[in-house]
Amino acid sequence: MKMLFFQSENQSWRIEKRSFFICARLLAFIDYARDFSKMTAVGTNFDINQQIFYIKEGSGTLEHLIINEALKDESQLEPLFVTIRHSESYWLILHLISYLDEKKSNIAQIGERYGVSGTHFRRLCKRYLGNCGKSQLRSWRAASSILTTLSTDESLTQIAVDNGFSSASHFSNEIKTLFGITPTEFRRIGQYLYEHKK
């Protein structure tokens, strides 16, 4: 599904056509990182089937605007957020994110906890994520591991264990397969950039 965004910028209008699923994924990650109980899930004043949104003030990309607005207590994008939070794609993504730290769950078990068969859950993942849930979890887990590698001095073995890899070797091979360089090389690059930033 596509949505249209009309954004006022410097007394002119910019129109963006965006995938609903990209917006749902971004909001699900933001909501997961924050106290979800404070989020607006049901808005009586909003049409949850709305597909056209007018943004009075804002600049930059839609993703940048969504991040900024999602972090505010009151947002001009609340109708969009309510629409997204009523969608199955949002809840599927949120459900998958909640399993990032769980080391032993497979997609069939995650699907059953979502309330559907493993086969149907795989279909939903394909529809809303564009790929299978297993590969999506794999890439999210890898990205999370690399962020930890770049932002902490934890040993790579500890990062591997904390992120569900069976060993430091498994972690290193997985990261090299996905990104083309090892976690050690990521860390060296991060240290180099940090030293030259000063």
Please check the confidence at residue 32 and state whether its pLDDT lies above 90: no
Closest C-alpha to 57, from 126, 98, 8: 8
Model confidence band, residue 78 (pLDDT cutoffs 50, 70, 90) = confident
Stated pTM of the model: 0.73
Look at residue 158 in the predicted model and tell me its pLDDT: 93
Closest C-alpha to 87, from 169, 157, 3, 146: 3
Helix axes 20-33, 88-97, angle to 10 degrees: 40
Q: Which domains does the chain have, with CATH numbers?
A: 2-85 (no CATH), 135-197 (1.10.10.60)
Do 32 and 97 meet the contact criterion of CB atoms below 8 Å apart?
yes
Distance CA 28, CA 34 (A): 10
Q: pLDDT digits over 83-120, tens only?
A: 888 889 999 999 998 888 776 678 899 999 999 999 99
Q: pLDDT digits over 137-164, tens only?
A: 888 889 989 999 998 999 999 999 888 8
Kind of pairing between the strands at 52-55 and 12-19:
unpaired
